[in-house]
Chains A and B, each alone.
Chain A
Amino acid sequence: QVQLQESGPGLVKPSETLSLTCTVSGYSISSGYQWGWIRQPPGKGLEWIGNIHHSGSTFYNPSLKSRVTISADTSKNQFSLKLSSVTAADTAVYYCARYGHFFDYWGQGTLVTVSS
């Protein structure tokens, strides 16, 4: 059974960098698929942030591309999200998920609040 778990600070100050890690169990991220990040502001809909292919290629939402970096650590079976220069608009629940033309396995999500 594939499982994903997000981890990272729940509070980030404005203008700083949000950093989250997704730990995957039950499947090796280097074996296949893409691995993605999706966020959901409170009371709003889902927004795709970006994916990393098992080969290391990355794909980002054009609206966030200048601030986003997704990387992977295959030795730990983890992939990570960095979002720079955050503002209150980046407050959201952040999900990691496995992507194979659709998101089939999701983490439970972690709330990140941007506030001083």
Chain B
Amino acid sequence: QSLLTQPPSVSAAPGQKVTISCSGSSSNIGNNYVSWYQQLPGTAPKLLIYENNKRPSGIPDRFSGSKSGTSATLGFTGLQTGDEADYYCGTWDSSLSGYVFGSGTKVTVL
């Protein structure tokens, strides 16, 4: 069982906005940066957001990240069929002295 809790699935119609939550604790999200990864079917994960809300080069600005206390949120607007993927949050856990990933959220475009 992951230390970071995400909803198993989220679905929305094309063009809509999606938000994915990631809930942790003071030993992980509360005191460390959060990153988000997109994993398209059959491919390796790809960095989407780092340091809570920064986008790597090439990631469109319709993807955004935020953090408040021991929770983080990934949001993206203008949902497209190409966004159908699994999304994972991740951060360092100071108690474990290790990196932890969220349980993952499958995004489905209706």
Chain A 43-62 per-residue mask, 1 if CB under 8 angstroms from chain B, else 0: 00111101100000001111
Which residues 11-59 in B have Cβ within 8 Å of A in the complex? 33, 35, 37, 39, 43-47, 50-51, 56
Contact with A along B89-110 (1 / 0, CB 8 A): 0101000111111111000000
Provide the bound-state CA to CA distance between A45 and B47, in Å: 15
Chain B, interface size: which category? 20 to 34
Whether a CB of chain A sits under 8 angstroms from the CB of B88 is yes
Interface residues of B, dominant DSSP: strand
Total A-B pairs, Cβ < 8 A: 61
* Chain B residues with CB under 8 A of A62: 96-98
Kindly provide the distance from the CB of A73 to the nearest chain B CB, expressed in whole angstroms: 23
Q: Which residues of A contact B (CB under 8 A)?
A: 36, 38, 45-48, 50-51, 59-62, 95, 99, 101-104, 106-109
Question: Could you jot down 24 A-B contacts, CB within 8 Å?
Answer: A36-B99, A45-B2, A45-B86, A46-B37, A46-B39, A46-B45, A47-B101, A48-B100, A50-B98, A59-B97, A61-B98, A62-B98, A95-B45, A99-B99, A101-B51, A101-B92, A102-B50, A103-B35, A103-B37, A103-B45, A106-B46, A107-B44, A108-B43, A108-B44
- Besides A59-B97, A62-B97, A95-B44, 9 other CB < 8 A contacts? A36-B99, A45-B86, A45-B102, A48-B98, A48-B99, A62-B96, A102-B33, A103-B90, A109-B44
